[in-house]
């Protein structure tokens, strides 16, 4: 029996900066997961992934990532995605330097 489809977002890395980015419902990219389009239908997810991949001048390595929907917006369900959104692992660079 196939697994039930879980909510997803399209994510990848910004081509020039390397930052983690998320696809929005307006076909643009954001660095904030809370602004990402949450996709709840498998067929729509595949279409949105193709739309994201067609923007090769902006993104590299686009893929679907599992999320759960909370009242604060989407949250990653896997450690890897939670780790990616915090930026580099050395403290004084990227998103962690702003904290």
Q: Render pLDDT for 37-62 as a digit per residue (tens, 0 to 9).
A: 999 999 999 999 999 999 999 999 99
Across the chain, what does the average pLDDT equal? 90
Q: What percent of the chain shows pLDDT beyond 70? A: 87
Q: What's the pLDDT at 93?
A: 56
Position 95 confidence tier, pLDDT thresholds 50, 70, 90: low
Instruction: Report residue 86 as tokens.
Output: 């915090």
Q: What is the dihedral of CA 15, 93, 30, 84, to 10 degrees?
A: 80
pTM of the model: 0.85
Residue 2 included in any domain: no
Partner residues linked to 60 by β-bridges? 13
Q: What's the pLDDT at 88?
A: 61
Task: Note down the domain range covering 18.
Answer: 8-98
Residue 62 included in any domain: yes
Count structural domains, the chain. 1
Residue 3 included in any domain: no
Residue 69 included in any domain: yes
Q: What's the pLDDT at 3?
A: 82
Is residue 19 predicted with pLDDT exceeding 70? yes
Q: What's the pLDDT at 6?
A: 95
Is residue 71 predicted with pLDDT exceeding 60? yes
């Amino acid at each position: 029996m196939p697994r039930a489809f879980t909510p997803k977002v399209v994510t990848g890395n910004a081509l020039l900066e390397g930052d983690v980015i998320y696809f929005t419902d307006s076909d643009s990219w954001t660095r904030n997961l809370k602004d990402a389009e949450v996709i709840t239908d498998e067929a729509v997810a595949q279409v949105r992934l193709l739309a994201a991949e067609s923007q090769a001048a902006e993104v590299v390595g686009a893929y679907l990532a599992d999320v759960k929907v909370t009242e604060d917006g989407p949250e990653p369900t896997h450690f890897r995605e939670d780790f990616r959104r915090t930026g580099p692992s050395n403290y004084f660079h990227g998103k962690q330097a702003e904290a």
